[in-house]
Amino acid sequence: MPLTIADLPDDMRARIRDGLAIPAHPLALTADRKLDQRRQKALTRYYVDAGVGGLAVGVHTTQFAIRDVGLYKPVLEMAMETATTWAQRPVAMIAGVVGKTEQAVKEAETAAGIGYHAALLGVAALRGASEDELIEHCRRVAAVIPVFGFYLQKAVGGTPLSENFWRRFAEIHNVIGIKIAPFNRYNTLDVVRGVVAARAEDRVTLYTGNDDHIVLDLLTPFTVRRGSETVDMRIKGGLLGHWSVWTKAAVEVFERCKRAANGAPVSAEMLALDSKVTACNQAVFDVANDFHGVIAGCHEILRRQGLLEGIWCLDPHEGLGAGQGDAITRMAQEFPELTDDAFVAANLSRWLG
């Protein structure tokens, strides 16, 4: 049976609508590049105890290649089971769905069958397709499970998507949110305008994936004209690879941003926080080497904390970029308040137990 937004529990719909901190879940591997189940479960427990509102699994940070080695369903199942048994509260579970239409629909059916609440739908595999073809693809997947749109930056395989595309996408009834991650302010505005033009602002919730402007995305009110009326929208949550590391501190930053967005004063300190978080992301995502170490950088922090045994990726050619390790060290030293090493150290044995 298809899963619709109306089928979600009322509290889950409300939580997604209010905005959640959702890290993208990494993949824990052994030295021979096999799934390390013990550490995979430990990561999920870490995120739950760090206070996240949801988990995104099977996404870029989980490594798209899990599909090539038969790990897509097992990894989704493990995250769901661990989060359900460990958490004492609802956790929004979002499954990454990629590929051409047949594959994407099958992955959506798998995720819905496991109990995931929504799919994060990437369209990079349809590069070169017409807008009509892209919208039909999205409709097919949304007929199976509620969908988060995904505006992916060009540096890692994304494609430009117009304001008109986002209007038509937001008109699809089972679209619940959009992860905005083009790393481009103009493209971010296209998404906001598209949702407003579709009159979908009360159904489609915006989440930041712009790791270069996390804090400002969460603080900024967007004002859009629609005919004679003015519509105000905000990016309410975040679905981010960056939040897969130093997660407890990230959740604290997110909560500060939410309080400010709800009327608390926005201080100069809060505005300065944006550049600090972006500087950390610059190191973690290996911007200096065109994002070569984007996944390995996350692994390196988790390895240093003891959550991962190594930084191994399914692709043996993926690793840290030149100088990336030193850059991560420097950021941890400059901004210790944005790390959570003490929290991890105090709980690591329990998560691994």
The residue type of 20 is L
Whether 346 maps to a domain, the answer reads no
Residues 6+ apart with CB under 8 A from 56: 22, 23, 24, 25, 94, 95, 96, 120, 239
pLDDT of res. 231? 95
Whether 273 maps to a domain, the answer reads no
Which residues form the domain of 35? 5-245
Query: What is the distance between the alpha carbons of residues 295 and 58, in angstroms, rounded to a whole number?
Result: 13
Whether 348 maps to a domain, the answer reads no
Whether 257 maps to a domain, the answer reads no
- In this prediction, residue 79 has a pLDDT band, given cuts at 50, 70 and 90, of very high
pLDDT tens figures, 111-130? 999 999 999 999 999 989 99
Return the structure tokens found at 131. 């807008």
pLDDT tens figures, 253-300? 999 999 999 887 788 998 999 999 999 999 999 999 999 999 999 999
3-state helix, strand, coil in the chain (%, to 5): 50, 15, 35
Phi, psi values for residue 178, rounded to 5°: -140, 125
Query: What is the distance between the alpha carbons of residues 142 and 345, in angstroms, rounded to a whole number?
Result: 41
CATH code at position 123 = 3.20.20.70
Query: What is the distance between the alpha carbons of residues 138 and 135, in angstroms, rounded to a whole number?
Result: 5
Q: Which residues pair with 35 in a beta bridge?
A: 29
Cβ pair 165, 137 in contact under 8 A: no
- In this prediction, residue 108 has a pLDDT band, given cuts at 50, 70 and 90, of very high
The count of structural domains within the chain is 1
DSSP class of residue 244 equals G
3-state secondary structure (DSSP) of residue 223? strand
Average pLDDT of span 163-182:
97
% of residues, the chain, pLDDT over 90: 92
Whether 251 maps to a domain, the answer reads no
pLDDT of res. 265? 79
Indicate the burial class of 309 (C-beta count within 10 angstroms; 0-12, 13-18, 19 or more).
Answer: middle
Residues 6+ apart with CB under 8 A from 238: 20, 21, 22, 207, 208, 209, 214, 217, 218, 254
% of residues, the chain, pLDDT over 70: 99
Average pLDDT of span 52-77:
97
pLDDT of res. 264? 74
Whether 138 maps to a domain, the answer reads yes
Whether 309 maps to a domain, the answer reads no
Nearest of 152, 91, 86 to residue 122 by alpha carbon: 152
Letter string b/e over residues 130-149, b meaning 16 or more CB atoms within 10 A of that residue's CB: eeeebbebbbebbbbbbbbb
Whether 321 maps to a domain, the answer reads no
pLDDT of res. 155? 65
